[in-house]
Amino acid sequence: MLGYIIRRVLQAILITIGVTLIVFILLHVIPGGGVARAILGPRANAAQIAAFNHQNGLDQPLPAQYLTYLWQLAHGNFGFSYKLNQSVASLLVQYLPKTLLLLGLAYAVSIIIAVPLGIYQAVRRNKIDDYVLTGASFVFYSMPVFWLGIILIVIFSGALHWFPSEGPQGAYVTDDFSQLSSLILPVATLALVTIASFSRYMRSSTLENMVQDYVRTARAKGASNSRVLFVHVLRNAMIPILTLIGLSVGYVFSGALITEALFNYPGMGYIFWNAALTQDYPIILGVIVVTGFATVLGSLMADIMYAIADPRVRYRRA
Amino acid sequence: MSTLDQPRGIAIPLQAPPVPQEKPGEVQDVAPAYEAQGVWRLAFNVFIQHRLAVVGLGIVIFMTLFCFVGPLIYHTDQTTVNLNNNDLAPGAGHLLGTDQFGFDVIGRLMVGGQTSLEIGIAAALVATVFGVVWGAVAGFFGGVIDALLMRFVDVMLAIPSLFLLLFLAVAFPRTVPILILVVAVTAWLIPARLVRAEALTLRTRDYVQAVTMMGGGGFRIVLRHIIPNSIGTIMVNATFQVADAILLVAAINFLGLGIAPPATNWGAMLSGGVDFVYDGWWWLIYPAGLAIVLTVVAFNFIGDALRDALEVRLQKR
């Protein structure tokens, strides 16, 4: 077990270093004069660009630059936004918690709804309600996040006036708690898409487990239907969901970007989007590094939780 | 979406072809009762039995005709802004009304659909070809080459595609060919992984060993044996890739980082409509969104059916 975890952590570290290498390459593929041109503007002359490059170490050989970059990252320096005159790290400290709150709520709602839904569908397999739910989840699964969000705004904000059409405002995560009704639509937008995919996994995973030998054994020992379902099957059927949560991190971050842009919710996705519109490369690349780290961490957690929850995995891989 | 791929749809049992009735007195032909069916013929039969897939194919054909042939019949001006006619409600002159610049919405859907479909299909093709070659080479040669190629894929997969996509959209000029490449850059990883997995099992097969023994080179094996034998997986994934690419392109256009006006696409149309949510101007919101969803669902249906038709292991025999 320990060996497996250590091996997996080392792998994750390698991939993380790979991510920083890719981002470092991205920094150097910016066409038309690169970073200096993007920051100093179109009127900067060659001497000014050379001075900027020298000042920021951009005239050093690439490997040396990469090592400097890694060194900076290791010290929590993700770059400096010249447009906002603020370091990317301080922006992240401010806005990342808002995104994490949004994602955390969306995940919690999704799991609370999707798990019972999937079990219900598995039990009622191929009956009319299963078909209806499967159809509904297919629709939500295929629906672009931004369109789903717009429709929710049209219905619940425009027509019914139940919730505001904007996410909670204010620069700090604590501001959100006084505006909980504004959080409902953004969370619902993210959760509906996630529920659609999680419940489909839960349904097939429950179906798979219901025909296993251990279920027959449990029934033979006289366990009641609900005990078999909620004690034996549920625990085994949840294992793929654990993995799924970890693996969907990158996907959900992308969903959060669109949701934050649509609902004008100032989280990490929103500042990334604004940086993209204003060509603020330090923020863009800083956020890409952070989402890359989060994705690697997510899949690492998925594997470790999988190994803890399912002993068969760790014996097979050890 | 594709990273979380899951078995979609259910396999439909193959129906045995009808046995010809023997008529008394007639001389029976030497031909066997079961006519030998080709692989593609079999696959076609399974595909056509998939009602949803036929619907999906119908939608794709309709959308293609609508976008590419439609403008030849339904003439609208999609380049000149006409602010005297903006935001008209659906009516006699404009069946779906006009948008905030005075463009006819139906005509806009056609023009926007052209770029959506072109970018979606072309990006899927580029991504598939590139990913397939990458994965086949990695899987067949194994060892250090495999490790290097696939670790690179792992690293790229760790960066959420929308973030990478937006960076590329910002850094490079936003024209159709470049957008195709940009989407492909984020999409080739999945086919690479799938084909590598196929190649790992295929390279141990007897017929591949036989080719090696007869002196066939590595690239011959990859091109003539590994790739053709994983064509099922490749085609299924390519179909899902089209759906994903259309969604991604719509997303970046919705975020205002797509094609520059007056060119448009379905995502950009939606992003224009968002500003008028409170005005109840549904014709700026529903048609474009519906076009995206229908096309994406259609490609997903086709992919499901192709999976049943081409991936023999899933067929109930």
Asked whether the beta carbons of B284 and B105 are under 8 A apart, the reply is: yes
Mean pLDDT of B82-103: 70
* Cβ neighbour number for residue B230 with a 10 Å cutoff: 24
Q: Is the pLDDT of residue A284 over 60?
A: yes
A247 vs B3: CB contact, 8 Å cut-off? yes
Per residue in B191-211, pLDDT (tens digit) is 888 888 888 878 778 888 888
A151 touching B (Cβ < 8 Å): yes
A165 vs B151: CB contact, 8 Å cut-off? no
A250 vs B159: CB contact, 8 Å cut-off? yes
A150 vs B255: CB contact, 8 Å cut-off? no
* Residue B236 domain flag: yes
A15 vs B151: CB contact, 8 Å cut-off? yes
Contacts of A64 (CB under 8 A, 6+ apart): A57
* Residue B54 domain flag: yes
Cα–Cα distance between A256 and A267 in angstroms, integer? 9
Our count of domains for chain B comes to: 1
Mean pLDDT of B2-7: 39
* Residue B30 domain flag: no
Q: What confidence tier does B37 reach under pLDDT thresholds 50, 70, 90?
A: low
B160 vs A201: CB contact, 8 Å cut-off? no
Q: What is the end-to-end Cα distance of chain B in Å, rounded?
A: 30
* Cβ neighbour number for residue A161 with a 10 Å cutoff: 9
Contacts of A263 (CB under 8 A, 6+ apart): A149, A165, A166, A167, A185, A186, A189
Selection from B87, B241, B173, B256 nearest residue A258 by Cα? B256
Q: Is the pLDDT of residue A136 over 90?
A: no
Note down the domain range covering B148.
Answer: 38-74+92-315
By C-alpha distance, the chain B residue nearest A29 is B171
B273 touching A (Cβ < 8 Å): yes
A142 vs B300: CB contact, 8 Å cut-off? yes
- Site from A147, A244, A274, A299 to mutate, B interface, most B CB atoms within 10 angstroms: A147
pLDDT for the residue numbered B126: 93
Residue A211's φ and ψ, nearest 5 degrees, are -100, 10
Cα–Cα distance between A156 and A148 in angstroms, integer? 12
B42 touching A (Cβ < 8 Å): no
Which among A150, A253, A273 is the nearest to B285, CB-wise? A150
| Residue A86, strand partner residues | A81
Asked whether the beta carbons of A207 and A236 are under 8 A apart, the reply is: no
B158 vs A15: CB contact, 8 Å cut-off? yes
Cα–Cα distance between A295 and A250 in angstroms, integer? 5
B34 touching A (Cβ < 8 Å): no
**What is residue B215's three-state secondary structure?**
coil
Which among B160, B271, B297 is the nearest to A250, CB-wise? B160
Set of chain A residues whose Cβ sits within 8 Å of the Cβ of B162: 253-254, 257-258
H runs (alpha helix) in A83-175:
88-123, 128-142, 145-152
pLDDT for the residue numbered A223: 81
* Cβ neighbour number for residue A115 with a 10 Å cutoff: 20
- Chains A, B: CB pairs < 8 Å: 143
Asked whether the beta carbons of B112 and B76 are under 8 A apart, the reply is: no
pLDDT for the residue numbered A34: 66
Please give, rounded to a whole number of angstroms, the shortest distance from the CA of B39 to a CA of chain A.
29
* Residue B246 domain flag: yes
* Residue B255 domain flag: yes
Q: How many angstroms separate the Cα of A185 from the Cα of each of A104, A189, A194, A264?
A: 14, 6, 14, 12
Q: How many angstroms separate the Cα of A281 from the Cα of each of A81, A172, B163?
A: 8, 23, 12
* Residue B15 domain flag: no
- Site from B167, B249, B253, B297 to mutate, A interface, most A CB atoms within 10 angstroms: B167
Asked whether the beta carbons of B161 and A253 are under 8 A apart, the reply is: no
Cα–Cα distance between B242 and B124 in angstroms, integer? 5
Token representation of residue B135 = 């994965």
Per residue in B150-197, pLDDT (tens digit) is 888 888 888 888 888 888 888 888 888 888 888 898 888 888 888 888
Cα–Cα distance between A146 and B251 in angstroms, integer? 7
pLDDT for the residue numbered B39: 67
A273 vs B162: CB contact, 8 Å cut-off? no
A197 touching B (Cβ < 8 Å): yes
Asked whether the beta carbons of B293 and A144 are under 8 A apart, the reply is: yes
Which among A22, A151, A299 is the nearest to B155, CB-wise? A22
Token representation of residue B60 = 């794709």
Contacts of A166 (CB under 8 A, 6+ apart): A182, A263, A264, A265
Which among A154, A247, A288 is the nearest to B163, CB-wise? A288
Cα–Cα distance between B92 and B94 in angstroms, integer? 6
Which among A22, A23, A276 is the nearest to B170, CB-wise? A276
Please give, rounded to a whole number of angstroms, the shortest distance from the CA of B52 to a CA of chain A.
12
B256 touching A (Cβ < 8 Å): yes
B294 touching A (Cβ < 8 Å): no
Cα–Cα distance between B23 and B27 in angstroms, integer? 9
Q: Is the pLDDT of residue B261 over 80?
A: no
Contacts of A157 (CB under 8 A, 6+ apart): A163, A164, A165, A185, B277
H runs (alpha helix) in chain B:
39-49, 51-68, 70-73, 105-141, 143-157, 161-171, 176-187, 189-202, 206-213, 218-221, 227-229, 231-254, 266-273, 286-310
* Residue B87 domain flag: no
Q: What confidence tier does B127 reach under pLDDT thresholds 50, 70, 90?
A: very high
pLDDT for the residue numbered B125: 92
B257 touching A (Cβ < 8 Å): yes
pLDDT for the residue numbered B52: 77
| Residue B104, strand partner residues | B98
Per residue in A299-310, pLDDT (tens digit) is 888 888 887 877
B277 touching A (Cβ < 8 Å): yes
Cα–Cα distance between A202 and A118 in angstroms, integer? 5
Give B222-228 contacts, CB < 8 A, sequence gap 24+: B222/B133, B222/B136, B222/B137, B222/B140, B226/B136, B226/B139, B226/B140, B226/B195, B226/B198, B226/B199, B226/B202, B227/B132, B227/B133, B227/B136, B227/B195
pLDDT for the residue numbered A318: 44
| Residue B207 belongs to domain with CATH number | 1.10.3720.10
Preceding peptide of B262 cis, ω within 30°:
yes
A276 touching B (Cβ < 8 Å): yes
A276 vs B289: CB contact, 8 Å cut-off? no
Cα–Cα distance between B184 and B163 in angstroms, integer? 14
Any idea which of A188-197, A276-285, A307-316 has the lowest mean pLDDT?
Answer: A307-316
A276 vs B161: CB contact, 8 Å cut-off? no
Residues recorded for chain A: 318
* Residue B31 domain flag: no
Per residue in A235-274, pLDDT (tens digit) is 888 888 888 888 888 888 888 898 998 888 888 888 899 8
Selection from B197, B234, B252, B144 nearest residue A144 by Cα? B252
Please give, rounded to a whole number of angstroms, the shortest distance from the CA of A296 to a CA of chain B.
6
pLDDT for the residue numbered B312: 56
pTM for the complete prediction? 0.80
pLDDT for the residue numbered B19: 47
Cα–Cα distance between B230 and B199 in angstroms, integer? 8
**What is residue B214's three-state secondary structure?**
coil
* Cβ neighbour number for residue B281 with a 10 Å cutoff: 19
Residue A165 DSSP class = S
Asked whether the beta carbons of A76 and A163 are under 8 A apart, the reply is: no
Cα–Cα distance between B131 and B141 in angstroms, integer? 15
Set of chain B residues whose Cβ sits within 8 Å of the Cβ of A200: 6
Residues recorded for chain B: 317
